[in-house]
A and B are shown apart, each in its own frame.
Chain A
Amino acid sequence: MSSFESFDYDVLIIGAGGAGLRAAIEAANGDLKVGLICKSLLGKAHTVMAEGGVAAALANVDERDSWKAHFADTMRGGQYLSNPRMAELHAKESPDRVRELEAWGALFDRTEEGSILQRNFGGHQYPRLAHVGDRTGLEMIRALQDHGIHQGIEVHMENTVTSLLQTDDRITGAFGYEREKGRFKVFSAKAVVLATGGVGKAYKITSNSWEYTGDGHSLAYHAGAELIDMEFVQFHPTGMVWPPSVRGILVTEGVRGEGGILKNSEGNRFMFDDIPDLYVNQTADNPEEGWKYTQGDREARRPPELLTRDHIARCIVREVQEGRGSPHGGVFLDIAWIKEKLPNAQEHIRRKLPSMYHQFKELADIDITEEPMEVGPTTHYIMGGIRVDADTQMTCVPGLFAAGECAAGLHGANRLGGNSLSDLLVFGKRAGEYASKFAEENASIPLDESTINTIAQNVLKPFENPEDGGNPYDIQAELQDKMQELVGIARSQESLTQALDEIQQLRDKSLNVHTIGNREYNSGWHTALDLDCLLTISEAIALAALERRASIGAHSRDDYPEKEEEGVGKYNTIVNKNSEGNMEIRRESVTELTDEQKQIIEEMG
């Protein structure tokens, strides 16, 4: 590898959000040499934006909580399409993962007894989310970062991986470029952990940043791994809708956890009108009971604003479509109303939701302690992703692991708020642990120089394409428009077939895009290179959405409104690359619950 800067690691981790950092810390625990690649600067990954909290059955606020209750809530929230083993491991291990953060310096809000405070969140039976106001993700990533930098991990900031390297099936490393000078880097590794996060940039309205182009999903797919349940894209019900430039920025579920209510233009609390059967017994009958729940009354049931995200997003879309929306095409989210209930409401809101207060004050001229916010759905998260073994997080490709949002299995058809931050910690640790084990048990394999040279040539192609080959930003914007329109909250055979056709056309165009300027920190070039990932995952989402002829969890088909197809049991969709290089899809029955798991779900109601 004389021509490129090269690095040799036992374990290479791609992605430095919560999952990547946690995996790196675990992998660096022994004597192994660990490399960590971040697409941005360290500490800026999407984990930093998580607001509401990290779900863990610590039972500090309500002693009735337990891992069993958390397990049952996760399975129910995921419409029983989750991998039950992952849901069990997650529920059992997240308390330890949260406590460990405290040992690394994290400072969660406290109960009166001085323990970690927990708050209510959608779909969780008990107050379960450890939090720091509404900036929990920042606290978490900073604790991991500040601990991680002393563990001997080599960090490559502002580097992007464009290809995984393989010999036969086995993963041998990765190829990428650093942004600053555009120089190539070759990483040799015995094991690779993908922790690249989500795919939000495939959509026009999203809470995700430029980085979330499905890199890990796409790298894994091309390396021969399987993607499961890609149709399940979470549209978070509450994103900002006004002004246009901030459309999609997240408004934390914590607003509703603290008593915020949703209203339409007629002033009606429409969430009371449509409560799914699965949740009738757990939902308040009247506003007073809902309010009491948010204030910690253990006898009260939760308000319908704390139903699962998929359901609330659909209700909001319905209100808007039927003409009861807010002036800018959303609905109203009101936390200011709690002044009827609390003497010091304004101060209370500012203390509990400081970043929401500033976000609306500074970006929309709205004082949320005085007036309602306008909100609507925004692409937030993908439940689907790289298929991994529940215990080890290894894919079907030897030496390739995945954790966090880019991996799949825990969340099924819908993710509960707070279960992402705990997912990152639990499975980040497991991925790091088992990737280390793999690295210890397997020798490194020399890299193939000719393959690397071919990859390098391809990466430079946008500079060599004809000048009229097209602007990469235009292709990206066109894809985002089409995905929003055709593969959004409401889908149909017609829209999805059209989407697949549009994606193919955009793929053809993307091969010719032209990049101006040189290789130094050239955003146009980077955008051009991200297109392949975006198109790959967009195709996978549309193909899986077409395959699932039902409306369940986050996936809604106008032409198939029922939750299940008649005579067909519960299944996962699986996308992989076939021997001709084309994307193919199949179904597999979901992993059966064990008898013990069945019993837990029955017991927990």
Chain B
Amino acid sequence: MAKATFRIWRGDAEKADFVDYETEVSDGMVVLDAVHRIQAEQANDLAVRWNCKAGKCGSCSAEVNGNPKLMCMTRLNDIPLDKPVTVEPMRAFPIIKDLVTDVSWNYKVKEKMRPFNPRPADAEDGTWRMEQVDIDHVQEFRKCIECFLCQDVCHVLRDHHLHDEFIGPRFFVYAASLEMHPIDTDNRLEELKNEDGIGYCNITKCCTKVCPEHITITDNAIIPLKERVVDEFYDPLRRLFKIITG
């Protein structure tokens, strides 16, 4: 059986470095399989998050050869094995240990956002009528598995650390799923502008490129939200109208 070397980030916030592990690899293996094999055979205490192993839960996010990936969906066939494969934790979040990072900030951000607020039900049994064409684009946003890879690559978070002023692509997608939900009644544009920092996004589309669910984050979620914010707060006619009507 062929062998390959995996250069895995080991350690915690105080002290950490790459450690090389050589392990057997076989046809069809993904990076997470190799990490598991190393964990079972050579490094029992290696910390790694994972659950479904099928690209559905978004737990095993990491940086493989510098690229933000779900380890369970990254096949060894697709990466060169003649040199060590580096596996590192997501760099936009504080490290806990080895490949595990502290992503709790994301959960706090979501909790602060204004929740879904539906209009009264359309039918007596408490249900609503919605056309499939009106929900297709929202269903795209709801495919998000919260792997936070988009947050990991976003330079506003990764390089500028504006976690207090900017909610990141994941939560613009979430905001878009609420704002464009056919039966939601709230308006979140003021928060998007003032608290969520949508203006910081300069649409470099890094988030879209890494999304394992292929959500067109920038074009379908962020840009339409930016346009709505502009319409609401910067449209001269609307501003005039507001001044007149008070």
Residues of A within 8 A of B (CB): 40-46, 48-49, 99-100, 102-105, 107, 109-110, 113-116, 132-133, 135, 138-139, 142, 146-147, 149-150, 157, 180, 209-211, 242-246, 249-250, 355, 358-359, 362-364, 471-474, 477, 515-518, 520-525, 527
Contact = CB atoms under 8 A, between A and B. Distances in A.
A244 B27 contact: yes
Given A41-B49, A521-B98, A243 B125 contact: no
Given A48-B57, A107-B135, A107-B139, A473 B126 contact: no
B111 A149 contact: yes
11 contacts: A100-B126, A103-B126, A149-B111, A157-B104, A180-B102, A210-B51, A243-B28, A244-B26, A355-B55, A363-B73, A473-B40
Interface centre among A100, A209, A472 (most CB of B within 10 A): A209
B162 interface: no
B157 interface: no
A260 to B, nearest CB: 18
A355 B56 contact: yes
A105 B127 contact: no
A245 B25 CA distance: 10
A149 B56 CA distance: 21
A419 B33 CA distance: 32
A107 to B, nearest CB: 5
Nearest to B127: A99
A48 B53 CA distance: 12
B211 interface: no
Contacts of B111: 149-150
Contacts of A139: 142
B3 interface: no
A211 B130 CA distance: 37
B116 A147 contact: yes
B115 A249 contact: no
A240 to B, nearest CB: 9
B54 to A, nearest CB: 5
A242 B48 CA distance: 24
Contact of B130 (A110, A132, A518): A110
A138 B96 contact: no
B230 interface: no
Contacts of A49: 52, 54, 56-57
Given A150-B115, A243-B27, A245-B26, A138 B40 contact: no
Contacts of A517: 44-45
B146 interface: yes
Contacts of B104: 157
B128 A102 contact: yes
Given A138-B56, A363-B54, 14 more contacts: A40-B59, A41-B49, A41-B59, A49-B52, A105-B116, A107-B130, A147-B115, A149-B110, A245-B30, A246-B54, A358-B55, A515-B45, A516-B45, A524-B39
Contacts of A522: 44-45, 47
Contacts of A250: 54
A502 B44 CA distance: 24
Q: Which of A142, A210, A245, A355 has the most CB of B within 10 A?
A: A245
B142 A48 contact: no
B136 to A, nearest CB: 10
A249 to B, nearest CB: 5
A102 B128 CA distance: 8
A249 B30 CA distance: 13
A209 B143 contact: no
B135 A523 contact: no
Interface in B53-72: 53-59
B28 A363 contact: yes
A109 B139 CA distance: 9
A115 B52 CA distance: 31
A159 B111 CA distance: 20
B4 interface: no
A103 B118 contact: yes
B44 A472 contact: yes
A517 B47 CA distance: 11
Nearest to A519: B45
Nearest to B70: A362
Interface in B9-38: 12, 26-30, 33
Contact of B47 (A45, A515, A521): A521
Given A211-B51, A245-B28, A114 B129 contact: yes
A246 B30 CA distance: 9
Given A150-B111, A157-B104, A249-B53, A242 B45 contact: no
Contacts of A516: 44-45
A357 to B, nearest CB: 11
Contacts of B135: 107, 110
Contacts of B75: 362-363
Contacts of B115: 105, 146-147, 150
A471 B27 CA distance: 26
Contacts of A209: 50-53, 57
A351 B181 CA distance: 20
A102 B53 CA distance: 28
A138 B177 CA distance: 15
Nearest to A103: B118
A359 B54 contact: yes
B46 interface: yes
Contact of B100 (A42, A116, A362, A521): A521
Contact of B181 (A107, A113, A133, A249): A107
Given A41-B103, A43-B146, A49-B54, A102 B127 contact: yes
Contacts of A525: 45
Contacts of B146: 43
Contacts of A132: 139, 142
Given A41-B49, A44-B58, A102-B127, A523 B139 contact: no
A330 to B, nearest CB: 14
A472 B129 CA distance: 53
Contacts of A472: 44
B27 A138 contact: no
Contacts of B51: 40, 44-46, 48, 209-211
A244 B28 contact: yes
A204 to B, nearest CB: 13
Contact of A107 (B39, B55, B57, B142): B142
Given A104-B116, A105-B116, A209-B51, A99 B125 contact: yes
Contacts of A518: 45
Interface string B121-138: 100011111111001001
